Structure 1
């Protein structure tokens, strides 16, 4: 029978230890598991050992000796002592421990648009710059022979990086540029299905009012409906447009090329379990 005594961890210094028999006695020894270590232990002559028995073991140098077979614990606990006439049973005090608090994670996700584009006359405008870095326009310039403009900020796949989270707040960073009249005007905002520019006209959905800004005025935290950002996190919407069903107000807002923070979307979110 192989000796596994020193294969893993030394048990020296443990004194008397308790192990579990893994074999019957053969050749005066048996296999025993002690603290996850399998060893070979000599058995005192006349001692009967069966697999599964709890054994009391001692060690001398590198040799282990089975001293006794320990009795198993009783199947039922002993009866409590009888209560005397003047004794009062102990009553537990206090409420039960509260349920553990759920683990909640959350944070803030800053999303810069992957493209800012303006759709007009059946195509993305290139006369004002790259079709993915243009400023965003709304309406039609007075006297222009061209059609109405729809400016769009596309956010790509980044909102879905927190898919499954609950949006608690969402804000936009916007800057109005010179264009149109000099009064404070608010764009009409629409949610867009697509997350990047396609060859066809963007699909417009939910509608809301944007911030009232004068030319060259900015706003760093314009709050949009939480449901809008939630739709982008869930993957059913991909961008935000500025558009109007009439020619006015004609507005021009900064895109990526003229302002690095243009249309930046900040989403506050939380996730609970």
Structure 2
């Protein structure tokens, strides 16, 4: 069955959805995106994703073509039309279509492009959550504003392919000797019961799932330290995990072939995953 997608105000069969070849998202990666999870047909952490979208747009001097309330309605309508019970809604806003030029087009005459589509996907009961994932380390050579959720995803894609070639599941990026984040997730280690994760800054994405998980961890009386950690620290950790909208809390069981703990998902990651799924479902929209 063909999905219904949303393009610039219209709900269309995916085969009929079109975006101009002059769109700056295509030509310049001049756009931002968000991914919101769906559980039980409801949206997870939508207010956080909407807030980060506003921030990303502001940082790139972009304007949303729809209001936040309208955006929520569009998400819900796509979930309804596509019968999504578990999965994700992808949103992308670009600066719009204009003659190719490095200079931004006049916003008075160029309307931003907005596209949304759904992806049905099993998010709760996954092999990765049950078994944990293996990661490798790679150099972080991305641009310096990783806090803006732009559509510039070539290097993260390359990182995932490097991991695949190495027989691993994902990659953690390392810069100046410390771990920044995963290719599409925030990274954490656990040592002596303490959760350690990179502090917020321009170097990493300000993960919405990250923020929720850390809040839940503190409410559960878990100790959290936000600071950079080295690759060596990570390999000597008792356990590790990643968080993202599409993976929630997923244990990491090895780094560069070095097993963490006994090589199986650790208790902190398992418990945080349970808490996050339970609490997020309660607050879903």
Say yes or no: TM over 0.5.
no
TM-score interval for Structure 1 and Structure 2 normalised by the shorter chain:
under 0.3
Say which structure is richer in helix. Answer: 2
Indicate the structure (1 or 2) with the bigger Cα radius of gyration: 1
Name the TM-score, length of structure 2 as normaliser: 0.22
